[in-house]
Structure 1
Amino acid sequence: MTSSVRDGCEPIRVITVDDDPLALELHRAHLARAGGFEVVAQCSGARAAVVALTRSTNRADLALLDVTMPDGTGLDVLRHVRARGVRTDVIAVSGVRDVDVVREMVALGAVQYLIKPYTYPLFKARIEAFREYHRRSLAAGRTATQHDVDRMFASLRTAQTTPLPKGLATHTLEQVSSALRACGTCTAHEISRRLGISREVSRRYLEYLAEIRRAERRARYGARGRPQTEYLWNAEIERH
């Protein structure tokens, strides 16, 4: 497993759990880019996650945990491991937006809930907040003062929002996303006509959706054989 040590400290040991192999590799790449994290296990299902989290040799500090998997849910995983006394911190990473699910994940000890698809800056903000929380919890020792507790909780509340890239607006992004979701597959020109915006603006938002895996690019060939770029709404990612 690849490890990285930052500022002379031991790396934070992480177990990643997701049934999508691409998501697992994305987690690994993002953790390596952030520095100071070591992936000690990768699990593609709920049962494997329970085994990895309860195995003492892993000694994981953090789990990046998906919510929906073919053989169980992230909630199932947390219930099992908490019942066995495992206190590994958890950041839920999922496309599930159900408020009851979010509340239960938090009740079971999830310190963050990251909704897919996400950008690297957003991931980094969450992981850096956890790094500070982890550092402060270690520094507090076995008995914490009120000041220690306040600082630990404050660290998890930092950087909770990450702005869109310069020039993009949340309202327009939601409009473009809704239009693409409705038509399934569209070109920038077709989206621009639907929304009454310029083709260039439409393309910028569609390219951003492709970058965060909300959409996929395809080549569309017209009657004259000249290719255009069309964008396909990625409905699959919303199921994870």
Structure 2
Amino acid sequence: MPLIRVLVVEDEPLAAEAHAVYVGRLAGFELVGTAGTGQDAFRQVVAAASAGTPIDLVLMDMNLPDSHGLDVSRRIRAAGLATDIIAITAVRDLENVRGAIAAGVVQYLIKPFTYSTFATKLSSYRDFRAELNGQASVVTQSGVDHAFASLRAPTDIARPKGVANSTLDSLVAYLQAHAAPVSASELMEPLGLSRVTARRYLEYLADKGLVLRAPRYGTPGRPENEYRWKSAG
């Protein structure tokens, strides 16, 4: 499956850099640029489409120095460009959320957020694209239902006590970098975790739908599960 081409639109340089780094850490995505204004964002989307290398996804800040992110989103839609948009904003009022839905925004990510939350949203979007791309030219009802269910991947599983963002991010990065499934005991040495702690984090990610969990057969001793980062493939 081709990489998902991403444009980060954010006027705060540190936030833009952080989002760019986050995109680079996610399998299946490719950062193609950043924009600090709505005008620059629209220009880049149009230019990429004209060059035959369209931008698939825009991570759109809502409060830009020259315009509102929703206005930029509407301009993209009005131009007939098939670019998806994820809103990234600290704005929480219902009017903006409704406006984002009306403008065709596929996800709404509220600042501040951790890398794991960012990864959850984009992974859900990646699965959504994979489901749609796997459909025939004429889709079925179940196919559409499966695709939209990907966008609603569970993200509100209660976090177990003692689960720290830094450790969670390290574990997610490790799983994304290793295609082969791993057990909790195999994470002890590379991440410096106890088996019990590693298993708690892995089970949390599995319950959130980010990690595939399966029993491991053919090993001595008591049975254990193995875990693999859920990819779009």
TM range (shorter): 0.5 to 0.7
Amino acid at match of 1:75: L
What is aligned with 2:12? 20
Amino acid at match of 1:73: H
Unaligned runs of 5+ in 1: 1-8, 169-240
1:159 maps to which of 144, 147, 154: 154
Alignment of 1:16-165 (within 5 A): 16-55=8-47, 56=49, 57=51, 58-161=53-156, 163-164=158-159
Instruction: Give the drift of 1:161.
Output: 2.2
Distance 1:70 1:162, change over 3 A: farther
Instruction: Give the drift of 1:122.
Output: 0.7
1:24–1:42 CA contact under 8 A, matched in 2: yes
Aligned positions, number: 160
Identity of aligned residues (%): 40
What is aligned with 1:188? none
Alignment of 1:181-192 (within 5 A): none
Distance 1:37 1:162, change over 3 A: farther
The alignment yields a C-alpha RMSD, in angstroms, of 1.6
What is aligned with 2:190? none
Instruction: Give the drift of 1:153.
Output: 0.6
Amino acid at match of 2:58: A
1:111-163: per-residue Cα shift (whole Å, max 9, x none)? 11000000111111101100100111111143211011000110000033264
Distance 1:141 1:15, change over 3 A: farther
1:12–1:37 CA contact under 8 A, matched in 2: yes
1:13–1:62 CA contact under 8 A, matched in 2: yes
| C-alpha separation in 2, matches of 1:84 and 1:19 | 23
Distance 1:163 1:30, change over 3 A: farther
| C-alpha separation in 2, matches of 1:108 and 1:102 | 10
1:87-134: per-residue Cα shift (whole Å, max 9, x none)? 211110000111111111111111110000001111111011001001
Amino acid at match of 2:23: L
| C-alpha separation in 1, matches of 2:161 and 2:18 | 24
Q: SS in structure 1 opposite 2:54? A: coil
Amino acid at match of 1:31: V
Normalised TM-score (structure 1): 0.63
Normalised TM-score (structure 2): 0.65
| C-alpha separation in 2, matches of 1:114 and 1:47 | 22
| C-alpha separation in 1, matches of 2:10 and 2:154 | 25
| C-alpha separation in 2, matches of 1:154 and 1:65 | 22
